[in-house]
Chain A
Amino acid sequence: NAGVTQTPKFQVLKTGQSMTLQCAQDMNHEYMSWYRQDPGMGLRLIHYSVGAGITDQGEVPNGYNVSRSTTEDFPLRLLSAAPSQTSVYFCASSPLQGTEAFFGQGTRLTVV
């Protein structure tokens, strides 16, 4: 059972480039979320989804897009990367009838 899988693990982008962070879960969870982790800031919610076709914004959504076409996948898109988006990104999933959120291993993104 793989749980929540994030790819890539590391990425360096130039300012203005675009990229997609991938997230997949094999637990058939309804809820999926993206967080960014910055020193002294904890984890902040970027976007989340309550099921296929349904997404909503979190605390820090600007500069990021998401879509959810399947239960399993929840990609995060950076359309024009900025140095302020240098961070560690975590994807998480949780079941509809439950409370525990399961996190992936993270993607460390550097924008230069």
Chain B
Amino acid sequence: QQQVKQSPQSLIVQKGGISIINCAYENTAFDYFPWYQQFPGKGPALLIAIRPDVSEKKEGRFTISFNKSAKQFSLHIMDSQPGDSATYFCAARRGNQGGKLIFGQGTELSVKP
């Protein structure tokens, strides 16, 4: 049972374009939704996160859009750069279960110059 479903599995975007990665969840008890970025040979690192009481959060070129009724959230990377090429994971966590992140399957993003 995959509680968090992520798509697409891979994504190729031209430099300057918009990268969009989507996630859907099932458990309405989730109350924290982070996105992690992972470069080859490294551990994941927190990129941006959102709670379900807001519909959008923006940090620089990175924006999370959140649709609570649809149980979906997405990551938008504006003006994508080759340095953004990495694997991106969405995740979810219940408020009383710190340390228990449920991850999506991951999206391998490649930004072409």
Contacts and interface: CB of A to CB of B under 8 A. Distances in A.
B113 to A, nearest CB: 26
A45 B33 CA distance: 16
Interface residues on A, range: 20 to 34
A41 to B, nearest CB: 6
Interface residues of B, number: 23
B46 interface: yes
A4 B99 CA distance: 14
Interface of B: 4, 6, 9, 32, 34, 41-46, 49, 89, 93, 98-106
Given A58-B100, A101-B34, 16 more contacts: A30-B98, A31-B98, A35-B101, A35-B103, A40-B9, A42-B6, A42-B104, A43-B103, A49-B99, A90-B44, A92-B99, A93-B99, A100-B46, A101-B46, A103-B43, A106-B41
Interface of A: 4, 30-33, 35, 40-45, 48-50, 58-59, 90, 92-94, 96, 99-101, 103-106
